[in-house]
Amino acid sequence: MKRYIANNERNPARRETMRGVENMNATAAASEDAALPRGGAAMLRWTPDQQIVGCRNREKIDPVRAIGRGPHVYALPAALNQISPHWSWRGQAMDVDRHIEAQRVSGVIVLRDRQVLLERYGLGRTENDRWTSYSVGKSVTSILIGAAIQDGYIKSMNAPLTDYIHELKSSAYDGVTVRQLLTMTSGVKWNEDYTDPNSDDALLLSAPFIDGVDPGIAYMRRLPRADQPGAKFDYKTGDSHIAGVLVSKAVGKSMSEYLSVKLWRPFGMETDAFWAVDSAGQELGGGGFIATLRDYARIGQFMLGCGKAGGVQVLPREWLADATRPHITFSPTNKGATGYGYHWWIYREAYAALGHCGQAIFVYPKDKVVIAINSAWPEPNLPEYGQAQAAFVEALHASAVAQPRGPARISW
């Protein structure tokens, strides 16, 4: 039982309107089905078993907007010669099946030159099941910022946020630019501790309306400033949520509708996607995006194809190049990233969208390789999970590059 909010709803006071026979409160739906865990801020503390169920059924748990696909599908033909890498991890011989089981991977797909070299599922998931993005959704929000710049809705990356979100005037976001927002250098004080029920990340998900102001804006505008804008990188889901609000305000459409028009329909995504929304109907720009594994891979393929969809330049070429280079550099993370762009993590040969509990889309421009992974790590904050995934991705990439190019055998 899903709670939908219509894409064409413009009046904020009516954004909680629900569509069709599925017009039911998501919390009530969850309580009627004991197998579904609670959503909202509770999802940050799902147990390992709840993760498997919740990540695969997010659109049944929280209120969402649908992102409609178009009449055609961007084919991902299976390569005649598939890959099956082997590698060593902490002295143990590893292969794909062993990694999937040990690291609770629900799906992995590898593309090279648009052909599928490997596609495998675990945790009871199939190719038809969607999976929540967590912070991979931040990179989707970034794509929409680029599209809005291409369309002229946002003047430039140097534009002040308050030109578009007037409610943030006289807050810590005064003087913050779009670029500083997307590089996580806004300077706004923030606590991103997923284990703390009183962290800003958790409180944002349950924020109320205040004086008629949308809850996300109301919460973010009361936060103090910790650093001068542009001075320091500090990972903040709140900045990504504001980036989503920026998209909606600038283009005059919901993020879901704009994504459907600019990417989902023209590129040829295979399945309708969803985006979780707050009580005002605003998509959660820092996460809550929900799609199938193949469509996550198609997002990477879209980036690999210079930001074109249906033959139309959706992203400015120079903006895409700027978005996927390091604006911030740091010591390697647990997953090996050494820099940060416009909501994309930067590697030596790749850039990536990364999310909580092991979600990832890796794009290797030189080698024309895309790797998408969904997981349900039981202890997402332990460094070894990120390190094990980094070794897995390295093995997949090396095997993909070593595989001779050849004909496809099946078209999906």
What average pLDDT does range 302-314 have in this prediction? Answer: 97
| C-alpha span between 29 and 36 (Å, rounded) | 9
What pLDDT score was predicted for residue 197?
A: 85
| C-alpha span between 203 and 207 (Å, rounded) | 6
- Residue type for position 285: G
What pLDDT score was predicted for residue 33?
A: 55
Residue 7 lies in a domain: no
Residue 181 lies in a domain: yes
Give 378's DSSP letter: S
| C-alpha span between 203 and 190 (Å, rounded) | 11
Give yes or no: residues 160 and 135 share one domain.
no
Q: Per this entry, what is the length of the chain? A: 412
Residue 114 lies in a domain: yes
The answer to whether residues 45 and 378 touch, using CB atoms and an 8 Å cutoff, is: no
Minimum mean pLDDT among 138-147, 193-202, 288-297, 320-329: which range? 193-202
Mind giving me the DSSP string for 85-117? -EEEETTEEEEHHHHHHHTTEEEEEEEETTEEE
The model's pLDDT over 87-138, given as tens digits with 9 standing for 90+, comes to 999 999 999 999 999 999 999 999 999 999 999 999 999 999 999 999 999 9
Q: What's the farthest any 2 CA atoms get from each other in the chain?
A: 62
Mind giving me the DSSP string for 293-317? HHHHHHHHHHHHTTTEETTEE-S-H
| C-alpha span between 301 and 362 (Å, rounded) | 10
Give yes or no: residues 371 and 388 share one domain.
yes
Q: Which element (helix H / strand E) includes 375?
A: strand 369-375
Give 411's DSSP letter: -
What pLDDT score was predicted for residue 212?
A: 81
What average pLDDT does range 179-196 have in this prediction? Answer: 95
| C-alpha span between 380 and 54 (Å, rounded) | 15
pLDDT band at 406 (very low <50, low <70, confident <90, very high): confident
Give yes or no: residues 204 and 325 share one domain.
no
| pTM given for the model | 0.92
Residue 267 lies in a domain: yes
CATH of the domain at 92: 3.40.710.10
Q: Which of 228, 247, 266 is the last residue of a domain?
A: 247
Give yes or no: residues 31 and 122 share one domain.
yes
Q: Which element (helix H / strand E) includes 28?
A: helix 26-32
Give yes or no: residues 256 and 373 share one domain.
yes
What pLDDT score was predicted for residue 158?
A: 98
What pLDDT score was predicted for residue 5?
A: 59
Residue 2 lies in a domain: no
pLDDT band at 256 (very low <50, low <70, confident <90, very high): very high
What is the sign, positive or negative, of the torsion defined by CA atoms of 206, 212, 218, 222?
negative
Range of the domain at 333: 12-35+43-146+252-410
Confidence check: pLDDT of 6 > 70: no
Short-list 340, 349, 358, 342, CA closest to 134: 358
Q: Which of 222, 247, 272 is the last residue of a domain?
A: 247
| C-alpha span between 356 and 289 (Å, rounded) | 12
Minimum mean pLDDT among 38-42, 216-220, 222-226, 403-407: which range? 403-407
Which two tokens mark 229?
A: 């804008």
Give yes or no: residues 214 and 292 share one domain.
no
* Number of folded domains that form the chain: 2
CATH of the domain at 233: 1.20.58.710
| C-alpha span between 255 and 89 (Å, rounded) | 40
What is the sign, positive or negative, of the torsion defined by CA atoms of 42, 272, 376, 388?
negative
Return the bridge partners of 359, or none: 355
| C-alpha span between 286 and 337 (Å, rounded) | 19
Give 38's DSSP letter: P
Q: Which of 202, 232, 247 is the last residue of a domain?
A: 247
∠ CA 289-294-299, nearest 5°, is 60
How large a percentage of the chain has pLDDT more than 70? 91
What pLDDT score was predicted for residue 34?
A: 54
Which two tokens mark 327?
A: 């604006």
Residue 5 lies in a domain: no
User: Cβ–Cβ contacts within 10 Å for residue 313, how many?
Assistant: 13
| Strand ranges of the sheet holding 289-292, from the earlier edge strand across to the other edge | 64-67, 273-276, 289-292, 130-132
Residue 50 lies in a domain: yes
